[in-house]
Amino acid sequence: MKNKVLMCGNEACGEGAVLAGCKFYAGYPITPQNELTAYMAKRMYETNGVFIQAESEIAAINMVLGASAAGVRAMTSSSSPGISLKQEGISYMAGCELPCVIVNMQRGGPGLGNIAPSQGDYFQSVKGGGHGDYKIIVLAPASAQEFFEYTLLAFDLADKYRNPVMILGDGLLGQMMEPLHIAPPKDGPKVFEKPWALTGAKGRKQNIIRSLILAEGALEEHNKKLQEKFKLITQDEVRGETVNVKDSDVVLVAYGSVARIAKASMEMARAKGLRVGLIRPVTLWPFPDKLFDAAATSGKKFLVVEMSAGQMVEDVRLAVNGRASVEFYGRMGGGIPSEEEILQRVEAMYKV
Amino acid sequence: MKKTIKKTPMVKAQSSSVVTVGSEPIFTRPESLREAENHYCAGCGHGIVHRLICEAIDDFKIREKVIAVAPVGCAVIAYEYWDFDVAEAPHGRTPAVATGIKRVRPGNIVFTYQGDGDLAAIGTAEIIHAANRGENITVIFVNNGVYGMTGGQMAPTTLAGQKTSTTIHGRSLRREGYPIKMLEMLAVLPGAKYLERVSVHSSHEVLRAKRAIRKAFQMQIENKGFSMVEVLSMCPTYWGMPPIQAADRIKSEVSTFYPLGVIKSC
Amino acid sequence: MAKIKIDKDRCKGCYLCVVNCPNGLIKISGEMNIKGVKPAYFSGSTKCTGCMMCAVICPDCGIKVFK
């Protein structure tokens, strides 16, 4: 049963969470994701879930930790500075192997920055953010439709791997209204058995949710187990899109809202006879390295476009591994690149 | 006046120390407290408080419903001693974690166990807001006026003049501020329903503490809202004195500043 | 009539039981236990009333009381 509605990305994400069976949301107001918090306040009430406007982003992630430890699907959301606050909690949840979904609608930074869109939290999301050796799955939707669908996916991935999953958006995607189809999962939200959850030790031994592991050598063993899990995720959960890459001379690389702009630039370039393609990573971690193999031959050029000083470009360089040249074009502090700007940059690459 | 004489087992009057008594002890370790020896220092109050909590839980027969949240501090591995479900929390966030658990599992009994760093320093926002929201949880706050686990640093509850590893000349009110009275502060919040301060420095006080802890769990069982028991406890190691003297210090000094008794009861 | 049993090797030597026995029936041993401390021990006196004050204050659940 498909239901076409007009929603902003924030709300589309919220509806995805509700239909995924999210029963706990805690958040703190911060622009540009307030529509999501307000939407969850309304929908959690309607679906017998729990909504708490927490006293801080720190309290919110810790409430999510508790709800998740108790076996319930839980989510929090914020924007860049608030996500910085959540890093300790995210590290703990990764160490405790607790599932949860965290939504970051990026804004200009560093510091308080501004409320315009940005992609300056890529490093924070995929390289760590919190302390210790862990990874979180990072999904990068590029439309309200994808916010809805990837939020459904995020809850399943979180439960499947017992790991935090982040949905990395930005202020543009969060607040822009778009039509989308709301299609609930056919047989309802997927249910995962959680024998490890804290439900009260009835008829079983006590369950302990912990990340402190002091016994000699035990923490290293635990880390090896986590790394095995991350390896598995890298094998099985990579997602990305390629457009016109095979016959291209220049390949644009972008994610999220920038990918939509870059796609427009690609079409403008093609109309001018320039053979331009696009690689759009959807999972930023695990990064879709293999998508670059076909295009990474000598003579080809990559142009990575981001709303940052250049963060994903480093992972592109790693994936390309010296086989082709990788260039970068970026806007910072809330600046949004236009299709024309990107096209100009592409044309310049042909002149060299 | 008629006197009721209680029947006791017949005992032979003798000068040796052989006494005939029942073979079943009238005092033992509660079942939800593990047999394992605890790692706490000699004379530390944690062992007593752990037992009182387990006695209350066994008394109310709620072991299978209990979900505890352990702090960061000396009691970080409390789950080794408790035989029920336990979650660790990041330092200070214990009441937030407890909130998440209780809200999604209101039928379970959720309590937090926190020290003076966890509750009164890094976790002040979390405890105030959990109390303010009137979360139906039980908070056990062990106040020993010092940070034990990390080597005896000043705590928000360290007394004026008290020497610690970060106040080597004694806490200066001018430089370090005043010791905080958490229960008195929280009493202002309508969401906080039952707040009592007790101590474990003598057997009599331990029995009073037992009653208070019992009441705090009863409040939750009866859905009466947020309750918190602050327990003045000994830290012989970082007070730099033997346990008996540490117990005396609570009696003569600590409880003078932190008065024992019910601070609030709704 | 009552008596207590103190777990000699569980005792950490805090002696809180010693000062909390209303009849002073608990003493400090002259010999070390496995922990290297001189544990508390029950003098065996018939004066024990089974009040449990010792067991109640012991932080290590080291005392059983029999009546």
List pLDDT tens digits, range B75-90. Answer: 999 999 999 999 999 9
Q: Name the nearest CA neighbour of A307 among A276, A334, A271, A279.
A: A334
pLDDT of amino acid B5: 52
Domain boundaries, chain B: 46-265
CA A189 to chain centroid, in Å, comes to 20
The alpha carbons of chain B give a radius of gyration, in whole angstroms, of 20
Vertex A304: Cα angle to A303 and A309 (nearest 5): 130
Q: What is the pLDDT of residues A183-234, one digit of tens each?
A: 999 999 999 999 999 999 999 999 999 999 999 999 999 999 999 999 999 9
Average pLDDT over residues B29-50: 97
Q: Domains in chain A and their CATH numbers?
A: 3-236 (3.40.50.970), 240-351 (3.40.50.920)
Taking contacts as CB-CB distances below 8 angstroms, the residues of chain C near B8 are: 1
Taking 70 as the threshold, does the pLDDT of residue A300 lie above it? Answer: yes
- Our CA dihedral for A4, A10, A16, A20, rounded to 10 degrees, sits at -160
Six token digits for residue A89: 């909690």
Taking 70 as the threshold, does the pLDDT of residue B6 lie above it? Answer: no
B38 Cα to chain C: minimum distance (Å): 7
| B213 confidence band (pLDDT: 50, 70, 90) | very high
Give the DSSP letter of residue B167: B
A104 Cα to chain B: minimum distance (Å): 21
Average pLDDT over residues A9-35: 97
Q: Domains in chain C and their CATH numbers?
A: 3-66 (3.30.70.20)
Contact yes or no for A62 and B100 at CB 8 A:
yes
Q: What is the pLDDT of residues C36-66, one digit of tens each?
A: 999 999 999 999 999 999 999 999 999 999 9
| B1 confidence band (pLDDT: 50, 70, 90) | very low
Provide the percentage of residues in chain C whose pLDDT is more than 90: 96
Contact yes or no for C64 and B45 at CB 8 A:
no
Q: Residue A206 is nearest to which of B83, B103, B126, comparing CB atoms?
A: B83
Taking 60 as the threshold, does the pLDDT of residue B4 lie above it? Answer: no
Q: What is the pLDDT of residues A124-139, one digit of tens each?
A: 999 989 999 999 999 9
Taking contacts as CB-CB distances below 8 angstroms, the residues of chain C near B246 are: none
pLDDT of amino acid B14: 44
Contact yes or no for B19 and C48 at CB 8 A:
yes
Taking contacts as CB-CB distances below 8 angstroms, the residues of chain A near B79 are: 206, 208, 210
Provide the percentage of residues in chain A whose pLDDT is more than 90: 96
Q: How many CB pairs under 8 A join B and C?
A: 100
**Amino acid letter for position A265:** S
Contact yes or no for B25 and C10 at CB 8 A:
no
Distance CA B72, CA B91 (A): 5
Taking contacts as CB-CB distances below 8 angstroms, the residues of chain B near C55 are: 27
pLDDT of amino acid B18: 57
Q: What is the ipTM of this complex?
A: 0.97
Contact yes or no for B65 and A202 at CB 8 A:
yes
Distance CA A269, CA A275 (A): 7
Q: What is the pLDDT of residues B8-27, one digit of tens each?
A: 444 444 444 455 778 889 99
Q: Considering chain B, what is the average pLDDT of its residues?
A: 93
Q: Name the nearest CA neighbour of C49 among C22, C12, C29, C31.
A: C22
Provide the percentage of residues in chain B whose pLDDT is more than 90: 91
Contacts of B31 (CB under 8 A, 6+ apart): B54, B58, B63, B83
Taking contacts as CB-CB distances below 8 angstroms, the residues of chain B near C20 are: 202-203
Average pLDDT over residues A81-102: 98
Average pLDDT over residues B235-251: 98
CA distances from A276 to A260, A296, B67, C7 (A): 14, 14, 58, 81
Second-level CATH architecture of B46-265: 3-Layer(aba) Sandwich (3.40)
Taking 50 as the threshold, does the pLDDT of residue A72 lie above it? Answer: yes
Chain B (150-209) residues lying within 8 Å, Cβ to Cβ, of chain A: none
Taking contacts as CB-CB distances below 8 angstroms, the residues of chain B near A71 are: 104
Q: Considering chain A, what is the average pLDDT of its residues?
A: 96
pLDDT of amino acid A299: 81
Listed range (A180-194, B9-23, B199-213, C16-30) with the worst mean pLDDT: B9-23
Q: What is the pLDDT of residues A282-294, one digit of tens each?
A: 999 999 999 999 8
Show which subunits contact A, needing at least 3 CB pairs below 8 angstroms.
B
Q: What is the pLDDT of residues A247-283, one digit of tens each?
A: 999 999 999 999 999 999 999 999 999 999 999 999 9
pLDDT of amino acid A2: 62
Distance CA A287, CA B14 (A): 85
pTM (2 d.p.): 0.93
Q: What is the pLDDT of residues A182-195, one digit of tens each?
A: 999 999 999 999 99
Vertex A132: Cα angle to B118 and A292 (nearest 5): 145
Chain B contact present for C36, CB below 8 A = no
